[in-house]
Amino acid sequence: MNGELIPTTVVLFGPPGSGKGTQAKLLTEKLSLPHVSTGDMLREHIALGDALGIEVREVIKAGNLVPDHLVIRLVEDRLNRPDCKAGVLLDGFPRTIDQARMLLGMAEGRGLRLLVIHLKVDYDVITARLTGRRICPQCGTLYNIRLKPPIVPGRCNIEGSRLIIREDDKESVIRQRLVGYDAQTMPVLEFFAEHVKFFEVDGSDRKPEDLSNEIVNWIQTTITDEGSASGEGL
């Protein structure tokens, strides 16, 4: 990836509980691209107290959503940094059609290659994963009764405390979040599917490493095919 003439921006989508965080970590390592999260960027600017951070803080303090133009400024600022010269993995952006249009326009204006990946996982699988999560109220250690159970059922390995279910891991809350994801994200995915290279991969019952390898293979094949067509090569 680092030898590419065209910087590659990889946009990663996935519903809550899809394993997107794990994939983001694996992909940044395999592709040698920085992982850029809009949430992290917002917190960074607020902590720095710079002009953008002050503006964002006032918006959040007023109980409003950060407007598209401010989010775009955050992304532009991040893409201008030296570590993004060869490309970047975007996580949590874009969230709206307007943001998607702005990103597409930015990519075209800067000569960036834009690749979009949607990590698709059956919602029943997601619900089963998340409703199995348990947390220690004392030390915060996370368990999963199916995937990572404690030694003693219902008790923390470290503190011995009785494990609890977080409010946002209850099935009704999870289903509501997934409905919200569909309503917000599906139009953005449909937009990208019409305008850029788009890859949807099923991660319902896959090992994270196998899934990341398939994604990397698709990215590398896409880049190689585009390079061959334009005469750039790798």
User: Which residue(s) pair with 47 in the sheet?
Assistant: none
Asked: is 8-33+86-230 a CATH 3.40.50.300 domain? The reply is: yes
Output the six-digit token pair for 57. 């803080």
Put residue 19 in one of left, alpha, beta given phi > 0 → left and psi -120 to 50 → alpha: left
More confident site: 116 or 78: 116
Domain assignments of the chain as residue spans, ordered by start: 8-33+86-230
> What is the distance between the alpha carbons of residues 142 and 134, in angstroms, rounded to a whole number?
6
Lookup: tokens for 25: 């970590």
Q: In what order do the strands lie in the sheet with 113-120?
A: 35-37, 87-91, 8-13, 113-120, 197-202
3-state secondary structure of 205: coil
What is d(CA 175, CA 109) in angstroms, rounded to the nearest whole number? 39
Provide the token pair at 82: 């030296």
Please give the Cα distance from 134 to 140 (Å, whole number).
Answer: 10
pLDDT digits (tens, 9 = 90+) for 29-39: 999 999 988 88
Residue (of 123, 149, 120, 122) closest to 134 by Cα position:
149
Show which residues are catalytic.
20, 95, 133, 166, 177
pLDDT band (50, 70, 90) for residue 232: low
Question: Which pLDDT band holds residue 216 (cuts at 50, 70, 90)?
Answer: very high
